[in-house]
Amino acid sequence: MPLDKHSSVPLYAQLKEILLARIESGEYQPGERIPTEMQLCEEMQLSRPTVRQAVSELVSEGLLEIYKGRGTFVREETMRHQIAPFSGFTYGILSANTLEGMNFIDYKEVEKLPAKFAAAFARNRIGGLPGYSELIWREERDRQVIAYCKSWVPKAMFPDLLKDVRLRRPMIDITANKYAFLPQKVETELLVRPATQSEARIFDIPRGEAVIVVTSTFTSRSGNVCEVVNVVLSAKHCSLRLDGSVR
């Protein structure tokens, strides 16, 4: 499929079709690196911006992936790990049955939260210790990180949570005599957006690839917010199954 420089079809669009044809024919195999921008410029006698636009559109459509320092590759369909059944409670610390298997990266006391998450606790009416326990962990399947999680729990409700986590105490002990502070309901927001540079490193994906951000706000039996969890999931490596029934 040669380029027609006299056609009304823009050159970048023609090049895009050529590259697409090579992918579909198997000339460029899944997981294989395609020629560099400079090589395509020389082969097609095109300017670099023209080549870059064609490649960028195929990246946006999910057919190519750009890895910094490595090149541009034909996207390889990967096996997705199913998270099932998925609900707003799935990644809550206080709603977990056990801490076993949680790969904690860090846990510490913090006084202030990002505004978005601090707002969720603003309506709380409880005394006690100020500040929050911040817990950061990730979930892995087959040595692949699929979820990066951050949780905030008011110290006024669970003052010994960090110590309990460090000692890996059973959840039944952590939540003992805390009935009024345990989660009763949850509000969950799901958002799909491009991965940041740091998220791309965590999941080993190209920057800008889709991630699913899940923010869950847990309300306790006392009516106070007892936990906020923010989870970033790699859309490339996992899928969510939501179950339900007709009432």
Tens digit of pLDDT for each residue in 109-158?
999 999 999 999 998 988 888 999 999 999 999 889 999 999 999 999 99
225 - beta bridge partners? Answer: 219
CATH no., domain 11-74: 1.10.10.10
CATH 3.40.1410.10 range(s) for the chain read 81-240
Query: Of 139, 129, 132, nearest to 154 (Cα)?
Result: 132
Numbers of helices and strands, H then E, in the chain? 7, 10
Confidence band of 37 (pLDDT split at 50, 70, 90): very high
d(CA 133, CA 130): 10
DSSP-derived 3-state class of residue 45: coil
Asked whether residue 61 carries a pLDDT value surpassing 90, the answer given is no
DSSP state letter for 180: G
pTM above 0.85, yes or no: no
Taking only the tens place, the pLDDT of each residue in 212-223 is 999 999 999 999
d(CA 16, CA 30): 17
CATH number for 81-240 (one of 3.20.20.140, 3.30.479.30, 3.65.10.10, 3.40.1410.10): it is 3.40.1410.10
Give the pair of three-digit tokens for residue 100.
């076993």
Confidence band of 60 (pLDDT split at 50, 70, 90): confident
Contact of 209 with 200, CB cutoff 8 Å: yes
